[in-house]
Amino acid sequence: MLEVMKGIFSKEDSTSKDLAKERLRLVLVHDRIGVSPELIDDMKEELIEVISKYLDIDEDGLEMDLDRNDNSVALIANIPVKSLNNR
């Protein structure tokens, strides 16, 4: 699942075929758990806003995904931290 988000949010070069395949996988996963890609984008933006109050993060490197097991859904986030904000 993490690979799906990497494919969408990463800056690495990938072929159009690979990118389309990853996007399709993401859409299928989100359809199964009832979460739209737009909602994921909104959640990502809000997480960035909140976390940025406390940490200096690499927004471009942030990866976020939902992973579904039999009876549960987990939010998985990889948030690169540059430094702590001085408060």
Name the one residue in this structure whose structure tokens are 């070069």: 13
Q: Cα-flanking dihedrals φ and ψ of residue 10, to 5°?
A: -80, 160
**What pLDDT, on a 0 to 100 scale, did the predictor assign at position 44?**
81
Q: Which domain holds residue 37?
A: 2-84
Report which DSSP code applies to 70. Answer: S
At 8-38, the pLDDT tens digits run: 555 555 578 877 877 776 666 656 666 777 8
pTM of the model: 0.51
Tally of domains in the chain: 1
